[in-house]
Chains A and B, each alone.
Chain A
Amino acid sequence: MLRRNVRLRKEYLYRKNLEGDERQLYEKKRKIREALQEGKPIPTELRNEEAKLRQEIDLEDQNTAVPRSHIDDEYANATENDPKILLTTSRNPSAPLIRFTKELKFVFPNSQRINRGGQVISEIIETARSHDFTDVILVHEHRGVPDGLIISHLPFGPTAYFGLLNVVTRHDIQDKKAIGHMPEQYPHLIFNNFTTQMGKRVGNILKHIFPAPKPDARRIVTFANQSDYISFRNHVYDKGEGGPKSIELKEIGPRFELRLYQVKLGTVEQNEAEIEWVIRPYMNTAKKRQFIGE
């Protein structure tokens, strides 16, 4: 098992390294294809390799035309099986944090919560891998208020670190009857304003925590991005009385704002993993730049 893991990781890294060359090749082929389509002369830098590349273009089919990246590799099997999530907290969690984690268990379908106890992170990840979990989610807190969320995709997948703000848990809302039960249907997902490259990456990470829903599902989970702050909302909808155009939304579940501050190309326990993206708040232009949307 250990050796197998090591080998798989090496393969993954190797393919990630090759990606750069493949991408270059893809770009060249794309240029030639465009030039041929528009009837323009082929760019001069590709003159030498043009014949060989043209041959390859002719022989391409659907799968080989698109360059595969390690990101595809990470989520290659995600669409085939439902995700299996392991939820846990930081050490010595307070009661409010445990309550919040229990709420999250209902938010993410097909998830399990375990007590943290005194386990080391690497142990947790190992057991999760061996039990075929696809994701591990850690929740951190500050004096009872949840303030951190770490989503780690398991077979050496990416890890996204979020900060939580403006958290409103179901426990905060005292009126239990108004809230009612939390349905455990597989929800529909809405992602709004995830337009940049980084935004799409984050959207992907968040998307693959959820399984494929049925078309008539009544539950909606929304991730709406506004100036790099992602709002998480959980609703249940019903067709209203006023015809097909009226919808009655009822908010259930916790609501919070997520603020991405790091994406690593490895699991949580791999400290030396490459950092794909990290927030830079003290840069002079930090106010003007938006990394996830618009």
Chain B
Amino acid sequence: MAIVKDSGFEALEKLKSTEPPVFLAPSSKSEEARAASQHLFEKLKPYNPKSPFDELLVDGFDAEQIWQQIDMQSQPLLSSLRQEVNRFAKNPEEIRKLGNLTLKVSQKDDVDEMDMDGSESGDDELEANESEGEEEEDEEDEDEDGDEDEEEKNGDNEGIEDEFFKIKELEEFLEDGEAEEYGIDYKNKKGVAKKKKQNLRDDDDEEDDEEDEDDEFGAFAGGDDEEADKLGKAKYTDFFGGKKKETKVKWKDLSEDEAEFENDQGDVKLSTHEKERVKLQSKIEQMEKANLDPKHWTMQGEITAAKRPKNSALEVDLDFEHNARPAPVITEEVTASLEDLIKSRIIEARFDDVQRAPSMPTKAKREAKEMDESKSKKGLAEVYEDEYVRTANPAFAPTTFSDELKKEASMLFKNLCLKLDALSHFHFTPKPVIEEMSIQTNVPAIAMEEVAPVAVSDATMLAPEEIFSGKGDIKDESELTQEERKRRRAKKKRKFKAESAKEPVKKARDATTGSEGL
């Protein structure tokens, strides 16, 4: 056993000295690792009463199986540890006893204890990183105890303290002052002050904690005995220190419960600040990891269908603005409104038809002369005769159609000019007299509807001269003398004779012409 022990120890030492990267790949170190692990197992065995194995079976087993064996060890350990912790929680004095225990054991046992502590936190460190684990565990243990002390003193004061201001120093100063004032025993003060100083140093240097711890625990142990004597000269720290121990325990409680599953280097007691920092750290790690990973396709800018998973666009709620107005849906209301519009337009008869523009005539219509197609009534000889007469003797020529038209036209124009002159000229120009011949009958000018008989009316169209134009004295028959009557009768006879003399001459002439024609 001893030989094995030694070889195991040697193996451990060898592993300690190898470079860490060597552990990453399978190498010749496996034999040494197995020996080392067996050695450690045996060391741990006394502390593990409920373990199912007597020794670690290494030969012919692969890493997984060895690991499982070690794992199985830890299961019963956990429950016993919990019990221990609860016990400590209830009885804080027992911790001091434990502390005393640690004082007595040798370096090796310290290592064992540290290993045990390491196994508390989990079995991650045992197999591959034993050397590192040892070192880590040393530090962790120191940390732990250091933290204990810190929490002991600093539980309530984390926010205020920094490297320049320590509450402990303040208290120390105050007590110095009081001691001077009231003349308390310097020795006790010293002891207390020393203790305090040591505590203060703990805050800064965690490496030197081991000795300080020991001293502290010794001082505590010593202090307990002397307390009873010093009741009258009790110090603030005695009371408040105790209080702080209680709080320390409380802290320990909390941290124990919370820190059970924490990965942080086996450290179970964490202040809130530390916990928050741990959380932040994990968050930061997560975010960094996310940043390094390739982005989700929706965040990659322009994506074609080939670059994203199939049908993934259906799952994402795509949101973009449609700028075009959508087509109108033709509902019944729309149709009804249209029809109303049409009906109103029909009733008003207000249509937007194409208007035919009236076309302006480009030229005046050529006058179509109608040719009279009937045979000319005049013979050609007569036509020539008329032409000759016109040229030779214009006065005798009968007027042609165009001449008559011309006359008519000129008459119309004269009328027009007359009217225009009358309108435009200042001097009066009377109407020209146009002599016309017409037959005037002796009809009464006035035809009135009158009660009086028509015969009474005297008005005639003709002037008196036209009715009777006579010269000299006009005598009625009753007024005539005999000679006058005779004269009239003779005149009458002569006239009658003259007329009757003409007629037969005329008749004779006619007869002669007729006979001459033969």
Contact = CB atoms under 8 A, between A and B. Distances in A.
Contacts of A249: 339, 342-343
13 contacts: A165-B327, A190-B345, A210-B354, A212-B354, A212-B355, A220-B346, A224-B341, A231-B334, A233-B338, A235-B342, A249-B339, A249-B343, A281-B323
Nearest to B356: A212
A222 B338 contact: yes
Interface residues of B, number: 23
B426 interface: no
Contacts, number: 87
B351 interface: yes
A286 interface: yes
B321 to A, nearest CB: 9
Given A190-B342, A224-B338, A245-B347, A286 B355 contact: no
B342 A207 contact: no
A192 interface: yes
A190 B323 contact: no
Interface in A221-262: 222, 224, 226-229, 231, 233, 235, 237, 244-245, 247, 249, 255, 257, 259
B352 interface: yes
Interface of B: 323-325, 327-328, 330, 334, 338-339, 341-343, 345-347, 351-357, 359
Nearest to B342: A222
A217 B455 CA distance: 71
Contacts of A233: 338, 342
A271 interface: no
A246 to B, nearest CB: 9
A282 B193 CA distance: 83
Contact of A191 (B323, B338, B346, B352): B352
Nearest to B345: A190
A284 B320 CA distance: 12
Given A229-B328, A247-B346, A247-B347, A283 B323 contact: yes
A189 interface: yes
Contacts of A229: 327-328
Contacts of A213: 351, 353
A284 B338 CA distance: 31
Nearest to B340: A249
- Interface centre among B324, B330, B342, by most chain A C-beta atoms within 10 angstroms, is B342
Interface residues of A, number: 41
A235 B345 CA distance: 13
A207 B355 CA distance: 10
A142 interface: no
A7 to B, nearest CB: 22
A266 interface: no
B358 to A, nearest CB: 9
A192 B351 CA distance: 10
Contact of B353 (A80, A189, A192): A189
B356 A79 contact: yes
Contacts of B339: 235, 249
A211 interface: yes
A247 B327 CA distance: 30
A146 interface: no
A49 B351 CA distance: 43
A282 B323 contact: yes
Contacts of B341: 190, 192, 222, 224
Contacts of B330: 166, 231, 255, 257
A255 B328 CA distance: 13
B351 A188 contact: yes
A245 B346 CA distance: 9
A156 B418 CA distance: 60
Interface in A251-294: 255, 257, 259, 281-284, 286-287
